[in-house]
Amino acid sequence: MSNLKVGYARTLITPKLGIDISGYFIERLADGVLDELEACAVAISVGDKTAIMVTLDLCYTMTDYTTSVRNRVAEKTGVDAEAVYIHSTHTHTGPFTKITDAIKADANKLQMVTEYLDFLSDRIVEVSSEAMADRKPARMGIGVGKAENVAFVRRFRMKDGSAKTNPGVNNPEILHPIGDVDERVNLVRFDREGGESIALVNFANHPDVVGGCKLSGDWPAFTRRFTERAIENTKCIFFNGAQGDVNHVNVHPKAGDFNDLFNDFDGCSRGYGHARHIGRVVTGAVMQIWDKVEYIEVDSLRYMQKTVNIPSNMPKPEDMPLAHKYNDLHNAGRDEEIPYKAMMLTTVVAEAGRMVRLEHGPEFFPMLFSALAIGDVVFFGIPGEPFTGIGRGIKSSEGWKMICPTCLTNGSEGYFPMIDSYDEGGYEARSSNFKAGVAERIIEEGKKILAEL
């Protein structure tokens, strides 16, 4: 064993029933629990330097809130705040964690969300401290598996030349997908003296499989549970990757592909059983490589964060009358008066909200990037939902044994589409707070940061 030490801890973060569920543009109130939501933490020390990595079964946490929690963890544990890496897996069946104007207008909702955020902050501090206390000498191995046919591009070229996000299963107007997926599953394995092994798994896909009004960690939670059942004396922590333009929807299912699925209100197929299936497939990718990882020396722990100003996607004045109309109708609960259905309704509502939100600026948004290097393995944290192209671009950086891009890390700032998607259209680009070029800027800044590390 080297001077590497690693600890693990887990705690529950399930909210009270009745809280708003995050992830859609319709109200959903939690009326049950399919599986408990969890926070998982690993504490990693090399010599006198330590980092703490936390994953949450949540859709996202806002940047200001996450920064305050990171500072609390630092104060409690003595770890540098820049070395605290907090990631949301992006489940769409977790509680609301943003205090919006609509939440503020409802005293009961405001109380529930505020109380939950206080509870969550305490739990993150606790699980981080427990992971620190659990540190044991370890060695690290890495490997790359493949999870096939569970992630699909969700943007499509239509026969009329337009681009649509989630156009519906078996839609005859679909011409072809725009782009491809990254099916690689990164595994970092820690074997510890006198303790369980730890599987740190990184794969990119949207966890919007379950739907409905019951709380669930979706397929990332299944991945953790199945990995721990399949590999004895092992704990698992999962980090989602560059998932902004991929999800679970196979628009051309064959044979048994549609088992455990139903067509939901927005044209997307969903089902709890399918989340279980994805968890099994990703776990299978871990098992492909578990016994054959490459063990590598870990002689350093480095971390860095950098804030970059990114131009905002401010609207044109001539677009504002219609934007205000659609936004007002949506806020009044009158979506039926907006002349769109299914995912196109979601798209125009999200676009109108973005336009109203940015009508008077700001011209730039500060974006916080985070990087954590464990020897020759590096995690690059992006505070939002990056397209697959960003993940591929970051992974092409030279000088590393393994690069793990992670979405929704240390904050949430929305979608980061590739530049061509702004001309093509689709939900992500039309709703993004950022001007065309944001994805390419993230790749550029990411490579600079990784080169400095």
pLDDT tens digits, one per residue of 142-165: 999 999 999 999 999 999 999 999
If you count them, how many residues does the chain have?
Answer: 453
Q: Strands, E, within 147-233: which ranges?
A: 152-153, 155-158, 163-165, 174-177, 184-192, 197-203, 214-215
Confidence (pLDDT) at 130: 98
Q: How many CB atoms lie within 10 A of CB 2?
A: 15
Q: Per residue in 232-248, pLDDT tens?
A: 999 999 999 999 999 99
Peptide bond between residue 362 and the one before it cis (omega within 30 degrees of 0): yes
Q: pLDDT (tens digit, 9 = 90+) per residue, 82-115?
A: 999 999 999 999 999 999 888 999 999 999 999 9
Pairing of strands 415-416, 385-386: parallel
Q: What is the DSSP letter of 319?
A: G
pLDDT digits (tens, 9 = 90+) for 299-332: 999 999 999 999 999 999 999 999 999 999 999 9
Alpha carbons 440 and 453: distance in angstroms, whole number:
20
Contacting residues for 192 by C-beta, under 8 A, at least 6 apart: 6, 136, 137, 138, 198
In 3-state terms the chain splits into helix, strand, coil percentages (rounded to 5) of 35, 30, 35
pTM: 0.95
Q: Rounded distance, CA 204 to CA 187, Å?
A: 13
> Among residues of the chain, what percentage have pLDDT more than 90?
95
Under DSSP, the state recorded for 436 is T
DSSP assignment string, 337-363: GSS--HHHHHHHHHHHHHHHHTTT--S
pLDDT at 2: 65
Token pair of 83 as six digits: 């070395």
DSSP class of 402: E
The average confidence (pLDDT) of the chain is 96
What pLDDT, on a 0 to 100 scale, did the predictor assign at position 1?
47
pLDDT, one tens digit per residue, over 10-66 is 999 999 999 999 999 889 999 999 999 999 999 999 999 999 999 999 999 999 999
Work out the end-to-end distance of the chain between its first and last CA atoms, rounded to an integer number of angstroms. 24
DSSP sequence for 186-198: EEEEEEETTS-EE
Supply the pLDDT for residue 343. 85
Question: Using CA atoms, how far apart are residues 426 and 347, in angstroms rounded to an integer?
Answer: 7
pLDDT digits (tens, 9 = 90+) for 171-187: 999 999 998 999 999 99
The predicted pLDDT at position 269 comes to 95
Cα torsion for 125, 48, 445, 429, to the nearest 10°?
-20
Confidence tier at 426 by pLDDT (50, 70, 90): confident
How far apart CA 423 and CA 436 sit, in angstroms, is 9
Give the confidence band of 273 by pLDDT, cuts at 50, 70, 90. Answer: very high
Q: Is the pLDDT of residue 342 over 90?
A: no
Measured in degrees and rounded to the nearest 5, phi and psi for residue 263 equal -85, 120
Q: Tokens representing 109?
A: 């909702």
Closest CA relative to residue 250, chosen from 222, 233, 270: 270
DSSP character string of 38-78: EEEEEEEEETTEEEEEEEESSS---HHHHHHHHHHHHHHH-
Q: What is the pLDDT of residues 188-225, one digit of tens each?
A: 999 999 999 999 999 999 999 999 999 999 999 999 99
Q: What span, in angstroms and rounded, lies between the C-alpha atoms of 208 and 270?
A: 8
Q: Give the tokens for residue 426.
A: 């689709």
Quote the CA–CA distance of 278 and 152 in Å, as a whole number: 12
Strands (E), 205-248: 214-215, 234-240, 246-247
